[in-house]
Structure 1
Amino acid sequence: MNDLASNLPIKDVLPELLSSLKDTNRLVVQAPPGAGKTTAIPLALLKEEWTADGKILMLEPRRLAAKNAARHMANILGEEVGETIGYRVQMDNCVGDGTRLEILTEGILTRRLQSDPELTGISAIIFDEFHERSLQADLGLALSIDCQEGLRDDLKIIVMSATLDGQGISTLLDNAPIITSEGRAFHVETKYLGKPKTNRWGQTDIVSATVSAIKQALKEETGSILTFLPGEGEIRKVEAELKHLKLPQNCFIAPLFGAMPLAEQDKAIRPTSADQRKIVLSTNIAETSLTINGIRIVIDSGYRRIAKYNPNNGLTRLETKQISMASATQRQGRAGRVETGICYRLWDKHAEGGMESFDVPEILEADLSSLALDLANWGIKEPTELKWLDVPNKALLQQARDLLINLEILDQDLRITKHGKQTARMPMHPRLGHMILVANQYGLAKEACDLAAILSERDFLNDRQNSSLIDRIKALPNNPKSKRIKALSRHWFSRVSKNSKIKSSVINEDLESQFGLLLSLAYPDRIALLRKPKESRYQMSNGRGASLEETDKLHGNACLCIADLSGEGRDSKIRMAAPISVISLKEFYKDSLEEGSFATWDKRTRSILARKQTRLGKLILSDETSNDLPNDQIEAAIYIGIRDLGLRALPWHKESKSLLARMRCAHFLDKQNWPDVSDETLLSSLEEWLSPYLSPLLNSVRKLEDLASLDLTSILLSLLDWSQQQELDKFIPSHWQVPSGSRIRIDYENMEAPVLAVKLQEMFGATETPVVGNGKLPLTLHLLSPAQRPLQVTQNLVSFWSDSYHAVKAEMKGRYPKHPWPDDPMSHQATAKIKKRL
């Protein structure tokens, strides 16, 4: 047994774990926070014979966690990082010839698998903190399983988690053994401080509540404090308020969030002297895999900030959300690592009943563009060819594939192109990788790398009144907050600069238009034209709207390419953009322009307009009237108009309305044998059922009123075959012959309770309520007075004759003396006539 584990809860299961791995290549480890799994297990595996000839890869969800774990394990071995233990994170590798255990961030494993599907020289992959269910972790596991099953049956896969139900993972891994470590190193007490109050804007005041909790913890407890806050904004506000307080001299504040330089992050996790108290203000970056020495107090705000993808506009925005109980457990586990601890929770205990058990996996609601590219690069057309804990969201995957086809990364058959192969090697969103590679063909890779780096990181200017990406480019050299962005840009440029070309005359614009055109390579769907001069509203090439604040520096530009927006209203707010001249846009995209006569539906005049236009996507770059209008354009505009106004736009008459209602009733009673003719279905399938009847009219149609000659009764009947047309009259008859001999039309507007409105005297002698639909559906009788006013509504005629009729007779006989009102209506002859004509 590894001496390291002697004081950790994981020690009790290490023998079972090591023994299991001699017999199986798949294993699930469940261990609560603080059990020691992240360090003890990989170090124990290094002593096993089966690891002697191959490396172990261990995945961590964040760069800081990867580096910290490597440093901690190297320290245990009495070595420097880069000897036996190394790490690989973005832009920073520390491995040597003798490295046997590499700690990686999750995306690096995917790229390693893509370049070497056999994982040559690798004995095992450990997925640490898998409960976080990041998109890259899910993909990495799916590809690793595929590698193991197809190429490397000796490769061992170990999935470790603190809070995830291991049974689901075990089932995915063909019922792999589950090793469970019970208990935490030290007990952690929980105190509930109640939900924070709201501020004057009605928002939860997390900052004030957190400051209050820190003051309480400093007074009540000893040791350092780890505070979990949603994001950098709240961290900076809490930091500012704490600095105004008279904190004890031995206290110091240490912010910790992902956008900080790694050196600054290290300060927050570095050990302190025994007499110092550290107050760490952290995002959920410290939720897993980090051991911050001296922490025995956790303050949990109960919130986190996550990237939320909106498939309706294709944008990913940061949103503040309540954490799950799994996250709360993880955060609580940061205390009690080296001694008993305490966790202050800023909510009521009873509120935990309404919290989600686990966070929603990214794969179900994230932008899947990178996943779609990785699957295509792996040779996978359908995601079900791989094994997943949750199969990727089908609609989101299709949306991602549409984007990749548009960028020529995939072909129409979803096969990866040569350009797609190059893009897949770029460690960034496919949009940005595509932009850099195409820009490189014009000798503009450096400029594109600057743009990509700015868009990949948090906005270092953070100026809501200035959405100009050009100003951010200009500020890069001297802004102290842009250090990581510049490093990213240099790193990416080094990957493509070997093949960089001399600048092409194709893009010879000034600085602003040049960057606008480069940006349009990544976001061709977000090229935007000003709707009207001096306005702030734009239309994008994807058809959606966008707007600028009137105080924004870019306000008034006729054409923009937009990289970032916020909001979900009619017009999203532009956050980052660059201007383009329309002239250079036409020149650069001349092969993509669509020119010709177009029919458009004008909502205001409710008519079809003929225009000669030059279009880029849904943008109209030039527009004038035209007399030449193709029939297919007219037809398409007609469908838009009908969908705009609804089915009422068509020439319905009494007979066609009645037939439509009868067909809907037939479908209601028997969905299997009768077509669906609901408004929704008819509108969505206009092209199928209306097209044959429109063709003869297209030359003369300019308004929907010009469709007056359409025979909707015949058109509806065409949706039924001959036998259905014959059966409809029996199944759902249009009329009912009442005892008087009259044929009365049935009203099927309410298909669940069709109405027969008939004069009461015409129903004398009837002892049964009429039924349609082969006896399934009774008619609702509206029994009328001689003046055609309702006297009674019933579905039980016998009950009416026996009871309510006599009251009706007493009231109506004097008012209508010329009409019969017999004492026994069930035996009286029905009539539509008055007495003297009988």
Structure 2
Amino acid sequence: MRGESRISANTRLEIVTEGVLTRMLQSNPELPGVALVIFDEFHERNIHADFALALCIESQQALREDLKLLVMSATLDGLDFNKLLPNAPVLHSQGKAFDVDVVYRPLKSLQNHSTALAAQVSAVLMEVFAQHTQDILIFLPSVFDIHKTMDMIQAKLQENAAVYPLYANLSKEQQLSALYPNTEGKRKVILATNIAETSLTIDGIEVVIDSGLEKVSVFDLSRGVTQLTTQRISQASATQRAGRAGRLMPGTCYRLWAKEQHERLWAHSVPQILQSDIAQFMLEAAVWGSDIKQLVLLDYPSDAQVQQAHEKLQRQGLIDTHGKPTRLGREVHGLSGDIDLALMLIRSKALSAAHLSMACAAAALLETKDVLATSSSPELSMRMSFIQNAPQHPVWRQVKQWHQKLGVAQSSWPIHDLGLVLAFGFTQWIAQNKGDGRLLLANGKGAMLNQEAAQALASHPWCVVCHMQLTDVQSGSAMVRLCEPLGKADLNEHFAHVYTTRNELFWDEAKQRFSAAQNHYFASIKTKSVPMGVPEDDLLLPAWLGLLQDKINKFGASALALDERSEQLLLRLVLLSGFDSSTKDNAANDSDDLDDVQDKAQMLSEQCADWLIQSIEQWLIPALSGKTTWQQLTKLGFYQLMSQHLDYHQSKRLNEQLPEGLSIPTGRKASLRYENSGKVYLSVRMQELYGMREHPTLLGGKLPITIELLSPASRPLQTTQDISRFWSGSYRDIQKEMKGRYPRHFWPDDPAHAKATAATKKKM
């Protein structure tokens, strides 16, 4: 039991939690007087078990070659222990177990989870109760589900059985009453959470009814909130639960899911280290003197978990920039509790002994189940007042333990400062009350108050949240469960280091302009904003860069609204760049690889956007000095700015390989039109190309120009990529039609050798 010790000089077997074992190792890594460390039920993959085993392995390798380690579980298959203990022998023991018949009884859809689950479990119980003679153990995911089901079955069972709950927060006496035989000789129906899965053997159990569900803690990295969520158990857990019915006699397990669904369950539960807040774990590792990646672990936390924990510890001043524990970090570690609560206790001590005494009570209340769980008010001060008037309440045991651990006497509590005391530990959850039940937290996230809480805190612009729960894991909506008002004067006096002032820009989409302001913040909460004039370039130009890159990413090159000549220049630049890359890639191949050029041309739009994003900082951003509106941006000469971005040799090569225009047989220079498809068009009247016998190409012959032949009225007649073939082929059909429609124009029989003209026959 927490806070109790039952050892003496005659102790041969000491049973401790993994957390206590970690403390023993941190205090003395050699574990003097210990010959063997046993890790039982290791398949549960408790984060503290993983860490304690890693420390034991390091101690064994560096300090205690004689130290023996034993890892045990009924379901270790599938865990790669060769990675941890490569030379360890594997022992198998069948033990004494009785046969357990497994019956699959799928639940119906749980639309209203709690009510539907309780009703269906109750129905199964009443159906099978008469088929068996001994006690029944029912596994349910939560305490709420247990009591909901108890309410339904007690009236139905009446005097035929005694119904007991079994979960961790019950008193020792209540737990023992569920474990021992009923004093009146009645059959027992025990409704339990995972506590009965592996930790306990209960005499008389013949039947297990397994809901197949469990509550697990999952840490939300973005909000820094640990959320209890209901999920399917693993196959290993299902095996453990079924085994409860075969400990002392043959039994039956009713699984409330389909057999085919069982095959799809995870083989093992997700290791806790992969879905937990690992800040405490990282602080432990820092005090041990090791990096997490250096420890011998079955699974390592993700980079995102490590980064989040590192930032939290550094923000709280518990580690330095190198990850080493600070003096405060070692002091927090020495309290061997939750980091936030430890900070609250340590910093409260600096105020007075009375504040520390109050912090001890607050820590005890936050570590245990809400003493006013039925109250809709979240104020912790109400809980403090409640226990003050209930001196026999079980929570006082933890309150006194904290007083004893910190060497402070119980005294009168300055309740008016409770918000300040809590803020010392939960600085990231100091919140500004936005009204209508909305809170903005110091970490930049939002949270909600219920209606009664919103009314109670309406006159308090600031509060500190000390417990909240995600009500919708998908959306991340968080409901405040416990909080306390906080005075602005306390913020100014004790959290001055959290305030910052920043000159900032924001883009006003409606006005299409940047506005500047000097913004004052408490962490991520904006407390004041003072408008500024035209900002300095060191603030303005990076803002323009970010805005333009974002718009180009979303809308492509069209986001800049380039004029036609600038668009053409951009297409030419990107097409030449793609051609040059292709030429380098195929340097060893002398063949004309037109396909590669065309493949690149198909992605021309994306490449234009990429080129803009990569080059815009050089050719456009400097020209935006002192400019704050989109209208000012559009008035810039984009073509000139882009051209100036090229040096002489680049410009010369571009004009040679992909010119703006092409000289045609009349002597006129006709414009070329570059398109996103990668094609290049020459649109001219047919008469102007008489005498052209070789088809024009670009990029050294790699890219044929698509000629769009026009009528004298400039209407399209034909397109071709082979002018010689056109003259000798389909030209004849066009000639016949055009002679009748445009008789004043020249339609020669041999256009390939005729003289080009832009005039009518009369003027030739």
The question of a shared fold, defined as TM-score above 0.5 by the shorter chain, is answered with: yes
CA–CA distance in structure 2, aligned partners of residues 267 and 792 of structure 1: 96
CA–CA distance in structure 1, aligned partners of residues 751 and 128 of structure 2: 87
* Contact map agreement 1:784 1:792 (CA 8 A) in 2: yes
Structure 2 residue matching 1:297: 3-state secondary structure: strand
Consecutive unaligned residues of structure 2, counting only runs of 5 or more, are 586-599
* Match for residue 22 of structure 2 among 107, 110, 131: 110
1:577 CA displacement: 1.6
CA–CA distance in structure 2, aligned partners of residues 102 and 809 of structure 1: 104
Structure 1 residue matching 2:244: 3-state secondary structure: coil
* Match for residue 584 of structure 1 among 461, 465, 490: 490
Within 5 Å, give how 1:123-162 maps onto structure 2: 123-162=35-74
CA–CA distance in structure 2, aligned partners of residues 372 and 584 of structure 1: 31
CA–CA distance in structure 1, aligned partners of residues 149 and 329 of structure 2: 45
* Match for residue 379 of structure 1 among 273, 281, 289: 289
Report Cα offsets for 1:617-657 as digits up to 9, x if no partner. Answer: 12233343445955544456546655775666656455665
* Match for residue 415 of structure 2 among 511, 518, 527: 511
Could you tell me which residue of structure 2 aligns to residue 523 of structure 1? 426
Alignment size in residue pairs = 721
CA–CA distance in structure 2, aligned partners of residues 789 and 482 of structure 1: 95
CA–CA distance in structure 2, aligned partners of residues 157 and 755 of structure 1: 72
Distance verdict in 2 for CA 1:833–1:613, change over 3 Å: same
Deviates more, 1:559-568 or 1:117-126: 559-568
* Match for residue 627 of structure 2 among 694, 698, 701: 701
1:457 CA displacement: 2.7
* Contact map agreement 2:178 2:190 (CA 8 A) in 1: yes
* Contact map agreement 2:136 2:188 (CA 8 A) in 1: yes
Distance verdict in 2 for CA 1:459–1:189, change over 3 Å: same
1:587 CA displacement: 2.0
* Match for residue 277 of structure 1 among 187, 202, 207: 187
Letter of the 1:347 partner, please give it.
W
* Contact map agreement 1:601 1:607 (CA 8 A) in 2: yes
Could you tell me which residue of structure 1 aligns to residue 150 of structure 2? 239
Could you tell me which residue of structure 2 aligns to residue 261 of structure 1? 171
Deviates more, 1:466-475 or 1:363-372: 466-475
* Contact map agreement 1:408 1:420 (CA 8 A) in 2: yes
* Match for residue 254 of structure 2 among 334, 344, 355: 344
CA–CA distance in structure 1, aligned partners of residues 754 and 338 of structure 2: 83
* Match for residue 617 of structure 2 among 670, 690, 694: 690
* Match for residue 594 of structure 1 among 500, 511, 535: 500
Within 5 Å, give how 1:408-557 maps onto structure 2: 408-443=317-352, 444-463=355-374, 465-478=376-389, 483=394, 485-497=395-407, 511-512=415-416, 514-531=417-434, 534-552=435-453, 553-557=456-460
Structure 2 residue matching 1:102: 3-state secondary structure: coil
1:547 CA displacement: 2.8
Report Cα offsets for 1:89-142 as digits up to 9, x if no partner. Answer: 532322222112112211111121111122222212111111111211111122
RMSD of Structure 2 on Structure 1 (CA): 4.9
1:610 CA displacement: 3.6
Structure 2 residue matching 1:168: 3-state secondary structure: coil
Letter of the 2:256 partner, please give it.
L
1:347 CA displacement: 1.0
Structure 1 residue matching 2:190: 3-state secondary structure: strand
Distance verdict in 2 for CA 1:361–1:706, change over 3 Å: farther
1:363 CA displacement: 1.4
CA–CA distance in structure 1, aligned partners of residues 460 and 628 of structure 2: 36
Report Cα offsets for 1:593-613 as digits up to 9, x if no partner. Answer: 224655445555444334344
Distance verdict in 2 for CA 1:591–1:310, change over 3 Å: closer
* Contact map agreement 2:544 2:621 (CA 8 A) in 1: no
1:678 CA displacement: 7.6
Structure 2 residue matching 1:94: 3-state secondary structure: coil
* Match for residue 306 of structure 2 among 381, 387, 397: 397
Structure 2 residue matching 1:145: 3-state secondary structure: helix
CA–CA distance in structure 1, aligned partners of residues 84 and 247 of structure 2: 32
Consecutive unaligned residues of structure 1, counting only runs of 5 or more, are 1-88
Letter of the 1:747 partner, please give it.
E
Query: Rg larger in 1 or in 2?
Result: 2
* Contact map agreement 1:297 1:343 (CA 8 A) in 2: yes
Deviates more, 1:462-471 or 1:826-835: 826-835
* Contact map agreement 1:196 1:204 (CA 8 A) in 2: no
* Contact map agreement 1:516 1:578 (CA 8 A) in 2: yes
* Contact map agreement 1:124 1:158 (CA 8 A) in 2: yes
* Match for residue 527 of structure 2 among 602, 607, 621: 621
1:564 CA displacement: 2.8
CA–CA distance in structure 2, aligned partners of residues 815 and 240 of structure 1: 99
Could you tell me which residue of structure 2 aligns to residue 55 of structure 1? none
Structure 2 residue matching 1:299: 3-state secondary structure: strand
Pairing 1:747–2:675 present: yes
Distance verdict in 2 for CA 1:611–1:460, change over 3 Å: same
Letter of the 1:191 partner, please give it.
V
CA–CA distance in structure 2, aligned partners of residues 330 and 668 of structure 1: 65
CA–CA distance in structure 1, aligned partners of residues 605 and 27 of structure 2: 51
Within 5 Å, give how 1:744-823 maps onto structure 2: 744-748=672-676, 754-756=678-680
Distance verdict in 2 for CA 1:145–1:654, change over 3 Å: farther
* Contact map agreement 1:125 1:158 (CA 8 A) in 2: yes
* Contact map agreement 1:537 1:571 (CA 8 A) in 2: no
Distance verdict in 2 for CA 1:708–1:322, change over 3 Å: same
Distance verdict in 2 for CA 1:280–1:597, change over 3 Å: same
Letter of the 1:212 partner, please give it.
A
* Contact map agreement 2:138 2:191 (CA 8 A) in 1: yes
Distance verdict in 2 for CA 1:106–1:202, change over 3 Å: closer
Report Cα offsets for 1:526-552 as digits up to 9, x if no partner. Answer: 222233xx5432322222223323332
Structure 2 residue matching 1:611: 3-state secondary structure: strand
Deviates more, 1:463-472 or 1:590-599: 590-599
Structure 1 residue matching 2:344: 3-state secondary structure: helix
Structure 1 residue matching 2:137: 3-state secondary structure: strand
Within 5 Å, give how 1:130-209 maps onto structure 2: 130-165=42-77, 168-182=80-94, 185-199=97-111, 201=112, 205-209=116-120
Letter of the 2:209 partner, please give it.
I
Deviates more, 1:711-720 or 1:489-498: 711-720
Could you tell me which residue of structure 1 aligns to residue 136 of structure 2? 225
Report Cα offsets for 1:690-715 as digits up to 9, x if no partner. Answer: 389656755x2333444457677798
Structure 1 residue matching 2:496: 3-state secondary structure: coil
* Contact map agreement 1:658 1:734 (CA 8 A) in 2: no
Structure 2 residue matching 1:472: 3-state secondary structure: helix
* Match for residue 388 of structure 1 among 297, 305, 309: 297
Distance verdict in 2 for CA 1:610–1:580, change over 3 Å: same
